[in-house]
Amino acid sequence: MITRREFNALVGAGLVTAPFAARSFAQGKPNSLIAGVRVGAQTYSFRDRPIDQAIEAMAGIGLSHCELWQGHVETREAAGTAAEGPARRDALRKWRLSVPLDVFRGVRQKFDNAGITLTAYNLSFRDDFTDEEMARGFEMARALGVDVITASSNVTTAKRLDPFAKQAGIKVGLHNHGEIRPNEFATAEDFATALTGVSDMIAINLDIGHFVVAGGDPLDFLDKHHARIVSIHLKDRTRAGGNVTFGAGETPITAVLQRLRDRKWDIPANIEYEYKGADTVEEVRKSLEYCRRALTAPTP
């Protein structure tokens, strides 16, 4: 059980309403299913605002699908007044193990009321997670009504996650970054290592921008491993590592989206806004329009 103080902090953060009543959007439901491709956003794109404002922004832009970033649920209030470092890590573990699952059901209701479908919950399991903490993560995902968790995990975490994923019936998509480091996901070889000896419940969340920075070819990887990919993150980066507006970098966003469309591979493609723009909502809107143009254009 959480204390009254902790519960009040959740209310103040906009994670809980009393009694979980969320606003309804009368303007009509958003629709970002484009040419059969589920285009959405990783809510990390809206990390500059709390969850209610992020939902409002997504609905206003017209996004009907999203992957929920754990930071929109595990806000600073979740760990109370704990400082950074080990004390905060311990407080966050305590919160995960004790927070009522109704908090997550309430979050799901907010998205439902806005006409936005949750396709995954982003909870980055790491080697420092206890078994109890891992099991609780799958309970959170079930309360959110999703069958996919995306995770910026350690490579060695995959085998520990497999039995929990199989028991819960929830897949874990392992997420890559651009920096090549030991025990972290960046290259095709990192994915191959992690997926060896585990069930198909351990899958891939391919970030095509980061994959380019790490020297990979996202389109080739998609062709070879699409059956194992449960989520794609869309961002444009240069091979030198810069985050740029869609179309200004070296990431084959258009080719990837058209491959999903033409091959009818039902993999959610989520915009992840990371470059420095003037206004978050406007930049995500521009990214969505870029995706719409790509998906309504003929394949070269």
With CA atoms as reference, report the closest residue to 38 among 291, 238, 278.
291
pLDDT band with cut points at 50, 70 and 90 for residue 192: very high
With CA atoms as reference, report the closest residue to 47 among 286, 235, 284.
284
In this structure, are residues 50 and 285 in contact, taking their beta carbons and an 8 Å threshold?
no
Q: Rg of the chain's alpha carbons, rounded to an integer?
A: 19
In this structure, are residues 232 and 271 in contact, taking their beta carbons and an 8 Å threshold?
no
Choose between 72 and 88: higher pLDDT.
72
Task: Give the span between the Cα atoms of 232 and 122, in whole angstroms.
Answer: 12
The DSSP call for residue 299 is P
CA atoms within 13 A of residue 50's CA, in its CB half-sphere: 13
Comparing 89-93, 184-188, 256-260, which segment has the lowest mean pLDDT? 89-93
The residue type of 183 is N
**Strand extents, DSSP E, 17-122:** 33-34, 37-42, 65-69, 117-122
With CA atoms as reference, report the closest residue to 143 among 36, 24, 29, 20.
20
How many C-beta neighbours within 10 Å does residue 250 have? 14
CA atoms within 13 A of residue 256's CA, in its CB half-sphere: 37
pLDDT band with cut points at 50, 70 and 90 for residue 19: very low
pLDDT band with cut points at 50, 70 and 90 for residue 84: confident
Task: Give the span between the Cα atoms of 106 and 300, in whole angstroms.
Answer: 45
Which CATH number does 4-296 carry?
3.20.20.150
- Report residue 266: phi and psi, to 5°: -85, 75
Residues constituting the chain? 300
In this structure, are residues 31 and 59 in contact, taking their beta carbons and an 8 Å threshold?
no
Residue 197's region, left for phi above 0, alpha for psi from -120 to 50, else beta, is: left
pLDDT band with cut points at 50, 70 and 90 for residue 78: confident
- Model pLDDT, residue 88: 85
What three-state secondary structure class fits 171?
Answer: strand
Instruction: Encode pLDDT of 215-268 as tens digits.
Output: 999 999 999 999 999 999 999 999 999 999 999 999 999 999 999 999 999 999
With CA atoms as reference, report the closest residue to 247 among 292, 216, 215, 299.
292
